[in-house]
Amino acid sequence: MSRLGDTLQAARHDGQALLMAYLCAGDPTVEESAKALCAAHAAGADIVEIGWPFSDPVADGPVIQAASQRALGHTGRAEVLEVVRRVRHASEVPIALLGYCNPLLRHGLEPTIRELAAAGVDALVVADLAFEESAPWRDACNRAGVSLIPFVAPTTQGPRLKAIAAAADSFVYAVALLGVTGQRAEQSASILPVVENLRRHSEAPVLAGFGIGDGEQAAIWRARGLDGVIVGSALVAALAAGGTEAVQDKVRSIRSGLDKLG
C-alpha cells in the first residue's frame, strides 16, 4: 500500500485536500478509458478509481449505469485488468478498483484480488458489500497488500461505526447522501455528525462521495472539514461529451475548488 499510504500521508503533511477521480473501465474503449484516467491524474487527481462495469450497479445513478452498459459489450475481467495495467505502466498514481460482489467473486475471491494487486491496484471499493460480511474480503486484501475501503453513510452509528473505524487502514469513503451516485445541486450535510463521531475513533482520512460534481461543491466539503472528495458521474459525463480534454478541464476545476481552502 506504499503508493496510497504515501499519497495520504503527504496530503496530510501538506494540508492538501485529496481528489479521487472515477471512470468506468472500457468506456468508451479500454485504451480511451486508461488514457482519460491518466489525464485525470495529470490534471490534479491524487487517486484514480477504476470502475468494473456491471449489469446491475445498484449504488449508481443513470450516468454511471449508462457507462457500464456502454462498456459491458467489450469489457470483462481481462479488459478491466488491462486498463489497470495501462494506468500503472504510465504512472505511480494510487489506483482504487470499484466493483460489485458478483463480478469480483466469479473467478474466486483470493485469485481475483491477487490478480488486481499484481496489475497495480492499491485499494478495493466494493459498492454492495455489507461491512458485516467483509471479514473474508479484508483478510484476502491484507494478504495481497490491498486496502479494502470501508463506507460510512448518514445512517451509520453506534458499535458499527466503531468497528468500521477500527477496520480503516487507509481512508474512509463517506457516502454524503442517501440514494445513488450522480451530481446534485444541493450538498446535504447529513453525513457530518457521522464523520465527527468517526474521527473520535480513527485518524484515517475521510473522503466524501456521491453528489459532488464541480469545484464549488468540492470546496463546500473541504470547508466542512472533509479530507477530500470523490467525483465520478461528472467525469463520466465529461468524457462522454468531450473526451479526455473535457475530463482534464473538469478535474482542474474541481482541484481549483479544493485548493482554495488548502
Give the pairing of strands 151-152 and 95-99. Answer: unpaired
Tell me which amino acid residue 20 is: M
**Distances 194 to 2, 49, 160, 189, 203 between C-alpha atoms, Å:** 28, 24, 11, 10, 14
Closest of 43, 11, 35, 56 to residue 239, by C-alpha: 35
Considering 6, 14, 46, 49, which one is annotated as catalytic? 49
**115 three-state secondary structure:** helix
Among this protein's residues, is 49 annotated catalytic?
yes
Considering 27, 60, 82, 169, which one is annotated as catalytic? 60
- DSSP lists the bridge partners of residue 123 as 96, 147
Question: Do residues 180 and 56 touch, judged by C-beta distance below 8 A?
Answer: no
Closest of 108, 56, 115, 110 to residue 80, by C-alpha: 115
CA 7, 8, 13, 15 torsion-angle sign: positive
Give the pairing of strands 123-126 and 18-24. Answer: unpaired
Question: Do residues 125 and 149 touch, judged by C-beta distance below 8 A?
Answer: yes
Burial class from Cβ neighbours inside 10 Å (0-12, 13-18, 19+) for residue 3 reads middle
Question: Do residues 161 and 152 touch, judged by C-beta distance below 8 A?
Answer: yes
- Give the active site residues: 49, 60
